[in-house]
């Protein structure tokens, strides 16, 4: 433990690299799903003290992708604001800025993750075949609205962190029969994407949460491959606090690339610029330490064998929690990992992930 911790702390004190020793990642992204909500509550995003458009700030720092989540019928509480109308509005801004779009279907009215895959209220009570039909039609019809608004995504996640399946209980993958049902639902979503995009421009990501857990990743993708689910990218969440230090991620990335020959994206990650448990952040919880962590993460992804490491998306970078407004409790817990300080000023970590030269 002391060896890798010392190495990472040394890396965390390195200055001015801006990932100069790493190839430019094709996908340099951030999730901005809450940016409209924050702006509506008076939050202002700044560059060197001057208010500016949040999406433009990320673009200026070298980002080329924005990720937006989509909920079915959110109730507006605890950050669950990502309705179709809200998300299309943000997507139009993303496309107008010249950036690419990743759309993250949650297939739920609220947060979807490994511990929560709640079937939307209006879909509950459907049998399996009806659920398959619903997933196809919802996906197709939703993307048709993005197309009509001129903001069709470039990349789609069919489900969010679906390590344990989706649309529970029908699509919970706790048995062979459950895996079969889950695969049916995934294929229905993928068919819905293709039906809305006959040109085949949209790429598909399958996203699980266990960035540094090789055995879980193998279990999941072995089952998926056995059922011939077609997709383009393996997506992983990697949060040091939950997933451990970078060597575990590096080992898993190398395994996935060599085993499945798929391109890989870190669909979610974050790092502390203050606070946190130093035994679980692995880098100093300072603006410089946050930047150093992301520089090392970029190098890790860029070094995946055979060029299969394609990109990174930061999660919660816009979650400013102090300064211009009184943030609710559900938001304040994430402020230590934002990419902006309490006054809304961009932190140095934006250059690290956007790979903008100093």
CA distances from 272 to 43, 84, 101, 257, 312 (A): 20, 31, 25, 28, 16
Q: What is the pLDDT of residue 323?
A: 67
> How far is Cα of residue 66 from the mean position of the Cα atoms in its chain?
9
d(CA 14, CA 17): 7
Q: What is the pLDDT of residue 278?
A: 83
Reading the block at residue 5, the tokens are 């911790």
Closest-CA residue to 185 (of 215, 209, 206): 206
Q: What angle do CA 192, 122, 198 make, to 5 degrees?
A: 10
CA distances from 67 to 132, 182, 256, 317 (A): 25, 24, 23, 11
Reading the block at residue 275, the tokens are 């606070």
Q: What is the pLDDT of residue 20?
A: 54
Task: Supply the CATH number for residue 136's domain.
Answer: 3.20.20.80
Alpha helices in the chain (DSSP H): 2-13, 35-40, 54-60, 84-96, 128-148, 176-196, 214-226, 240-243, 246-260, 278-281, 287-302, 329-332, 349-354
Bridge partners of 100, per DSSP, are 65
Work out whether the CA dihedral 5, 9, 10, 11 comes out positive or negative.
positive
DSSP state of 227: T
Could you tell me the residue range of the domain that residue 333 belongs to? 2-354
Work out whether the CA dihedral 168, 173, 178, 184 comes out positive or negative.
positive
- Find where tokens 């690299």 sit: 17
Q: How many CA atoms lie within 13 A of 283 on its CB side?
A: 28
Closest-CA residue to 267 (of 192, 155, 116, 115): 155
Q: Number of structural domains, the chain? A: 1
CA distances from 306 to 205, 303, 310 (A): 19, 9, 11
- Find where tokens 């979807």 sit: 112
pTM over 0.75: yes
Active-site residues, by number, are 161, 268
pLDDT in tens, the chain (358 residues): 433 444 444 343 333 444 557 899 999 999 999 999 999 999 999 999 999 999 999 999 999 999 999 999 999 999 999 999 999 999 999 999 999 999 999 999 999 999 999 999 999 999 999 999 999 999 999 999 999 999 999 999 999 999 999 999 999 999 999 999 999 999 999 999 999 999 999 999 999 999 999 999 999 999 999 999 999 999 999 999 999 999 999 999 999 999 999 999 999 999 999 998 888 899 999 999 999 999 999 999 999 999 999 999 999 999 998 766 678 888 887 899 999 999 999 999 999 999 987 6
């Amino acid at each position: 433990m002391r060896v890798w911790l010392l190495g990472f702390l040394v890396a965390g004190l390195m200055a001015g690299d801006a990932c100069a020793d790493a190839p430019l990642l094709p996908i340099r992204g951030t999730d901005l799903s809450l940016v409209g909500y924050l702006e509506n509550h008076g939050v202002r995003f700044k560059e060197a003290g001057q208010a500016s458009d949040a999406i433009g700030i990320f673009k200026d720092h070298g980002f080329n992708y924005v990720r937006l989540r989509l909920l079915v019928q959110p109730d507006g509480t605890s950050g669950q604001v990502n309705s179709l109308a809200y998300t299309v509005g943000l997507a139009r801004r993303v496309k107008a800025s010249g950036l690419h779009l990743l759309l993250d279907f949650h297939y739920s009215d609220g947060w979807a993750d490994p511990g929560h895959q709640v079937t939307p209220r209006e879909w509950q009570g459907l049998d399996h075949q009806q659920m398959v039909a619903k997933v196809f039609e919802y996906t197709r019809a939703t993307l048709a609205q993005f197309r009509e608004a001129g903001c069709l995504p470039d990349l789609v996640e069919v489900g969010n962190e679906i390590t344990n399946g989706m649309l529970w209980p029908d699509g919970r993958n706790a048995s062979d029969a459950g895996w079969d049902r889950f695969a049916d639902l995934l294929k229905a979503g993928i068919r819905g994407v293709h039906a809305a995009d006959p040109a085949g421009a949209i790429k598909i990501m399958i996203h699980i949460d266990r960035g540094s857990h090789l055995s879980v990743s193998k279990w999941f993708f072995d089952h998926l491959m056995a059922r011939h689910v077609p997709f383009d990218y393996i997506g992983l969440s990697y949060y040091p606090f939950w997933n451990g230090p970078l060597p575990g991620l590096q080992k898993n990335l190398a395994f996935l690339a060599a085993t499945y020959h798929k391109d890989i994206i870190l669909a979610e990650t974050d790092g502390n610029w203050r606070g946190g448990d130093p035994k679980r952040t692995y880098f100093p919880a300072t603006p410089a330490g946050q930047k150093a962590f992301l520089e090392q993460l970029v190098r890790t992804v860029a070094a995946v064998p055979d060029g299969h490491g394609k990109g990174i998306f930061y999660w919660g970078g816009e979650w400013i929690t102090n300064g211009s407004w009184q943030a609710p409790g559900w938001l304040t817990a994430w402020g230590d990992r934002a990419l902006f300080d309490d006054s809304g000023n961009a932190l140095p970590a934006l250059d690290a992930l956007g790979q903008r030269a100093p």
